[in-house]
A = this chain, B = another copy of it.
Amino acid sequence: MAVTNFSTERVFAERMDAVDPLAAFRDRFVWADESLIYLDGNSLGPLPRATQIRIAEVVGAEWGAGLVRSWSRWVDLPRQVGDLIGAHLIGAAPGQVLVSDTATVNLYKLACAALDAQPGRGVIVTDDDNFPTDRYVLQGIAAQHGCELRMIHTDMDQGLGEETLQAALDPEVALVSLSHVAYRSGALADMARITQLVHDAGALMLWDLCHSVGAVPVELDSCGADLAIGCTYKYVNAGPGAPAFLYVRGELQEQLRQPVWGWFGQSDQFQMGPRYDPVPGIERFATGTPQIIGTVAVQEGTRLLAEAGMERLREKGIALTSYLIRLADEWLAPRGFTLASPRADARRGAHVCLHHQDAWRISQALISAGVIGDYRMPDRLRLGPTPISTRFTDVWDALDRLRQLAADRSYADLPAEPSRIT
């Protein structure tokens, strides 16, 4: 699947599609408009056909016909689907992953728990290019706990410098919280090395997997990661606002107590006893009633990725992004675009950013031309050729339209104002 005998002709992309072992997975998704090129699965993944069918079943048969009796099949789903994610997507043995709440709330729960477990340490470390909700949640926790939030600087194109991180680590640090794949540049952090650096400093490591789960193989157990969270509406294709997941390394679970003492974390939940007494396992990190429709969508999305296989998805992801970069080098660099993502395959997730001073207007003109990518502040065009559902010809067609736009400057009359769309 490596990009060999590269050529800028469309026939090259056609040949790549013809030998793509994952090509058939595209038809496992709903595509209402075959002429649309979708390079934004990293914001909201497309709808798997199996998920559409399954949601209709859960709504009609399980909720509609089964009524409250269906809770006997639903109640263990958050842990069961967590184990499925652990086994196929993030390298976690059973009993360490739970589908729960949102990525934001899970980050809050785990970061509070980590901080409370280390009363002698009063510093949280994160980086200034981390995803906004991560930075805000950690700011809030630092303010409430009277802690220092140590914000290290990260290059907006190249990702975290390990030396910068190392310089920020000292015996005061309780927790380091970083994204595995940077939301803008797509820079892929070295999870094993960074986790080791953090452990050498005696701190706990919390990984945000939102932009890596389902896009690149993740090996939490073998990297010795302590904590992780991730969303499921991007590469897991579980739909808008589907529930997130959290990971807590088995040996840590008993030591950690999260701040939201909800009834779904309670031992003998339906005894409804007087005192909160959390269950021993991963479900102590649960809070309220889990959203069931979203959880089954996570299950279906995870099954689809498992069937494709994370190794094959990674191989295709590298082939797609490196192909995109080569076309950009050939066609777009002369028009003022520069690569705003790591060039080395091993340092990149499954999306690519291009820098251009008119990125916002270009992203809008590109949508009008039938290609959905997205814009990221301050001047980046983000293109996500999601491995499971994107063809090489999609990349060719998208870049071809982009070079036409860049050549005729048809975007120049558009308003220069960003939208609210995520």
By a beta-carbon cutoff of 8 Å, the part of chain A in contact with chain B is 30, 32-33, 36, 38, 40, 43-44, 46-47, 51-52, 55-56, 59-61, 63-65, 67-72, 74-75, 101-105, 108, 116, 128, 131-133, 135-137, 139-141, 144, 231, 233, 239-244, 259-264, 266, 269-276, 287-295, 367, 372, 374, 376-377, 418-422
Contact = CB atoms under 8 A, between A and B. Distances in A.
A61 B43 CA distance: 18
Contacts of A44: 63, 67-68, 71
Contacts of A293: 55, 239-241, 293-294
Nearest to A263: B133
A101 B102 CA distance: 8
Contacts of A133: 262-264, 288
Given A139-B261, A241-B291, A291-B241, A377 B272 contact: yes
A141 B13 CA distance: 57
A372 B295 contact: no
Nearest to A242: B291
Contact of A288 (B70, B104, B418): B104
Given A52-B64, A274-B128, A104 B422 contact: no
A30 B260 contact: no
A422 B102 contact: no
A32 B116 CA distance: 49
A365 to B, nearest CB: 15
Nearest to A55: B59
A69 B128 CA distance: 28
Given A68-B421, A71-B422, A293-B240, A139 B275 contact: yes
A315 B71 CA distance: 31
B137 A261 contact: yes
Nearest to A116: B144
A179 to B, nearest CB: 13
B47 A64 contact: yes
Nearest to A237: B63
A136 B261 contact: yes
A374 B147 CA distance: 47
A64 B32 contact: yes
Given A32-B65, A241-B295, A291-B242, A136 B262 contact: yes
Choose among A65, A75, A133 the residue with the greatest number of B CB atoms under 10 Å from its CB.
A133
B377 A262 contact: no
A30 B59 CA distance: 10
Given A32-B64, A272-B377, 7 more contacts: A56-B56, A75-B420, A101-B101, A103-B289, A131-B263, A135-B276, A240-B292
Contacts of A136: 261-263, 266, 276
A331 to B, nearest CB: 25
Q: Which 9 residue pairs are nearest across A and B when measured between Cβ atoms? A: A102-B288, A104-B288, A140-B261, A32-B65, A241-B291, A133-B263, A104-B262, A47-B64, A136-B276
A259 to B, nearest CB: 6
Choose among A52, A67, A132, A144 the residue with the greatest number of B CB atoms under 10 Å from its CB.
A67
A140 B260 contact: yes
A105 B104 contact: no
A67 B52 contact: no
A129 to B, nearest CB: 10
A60 B29 CA distance: 11
Contacts of A105: 101, 105, 260, 262, 287-288
Contacts of A69: 367, 372, 421
Given A67-B372, A105-B262, A287-B104, A419 B239 contact: no
A63 B240 contact: yes
Contact of A60 (B30, B46, B260, B272): B30
A212 B272 CA distance: 20
A291 B291 contact: yes
Contacts of A128: 274
A67 B37 CA distance: 11
Nearest to A278: B136
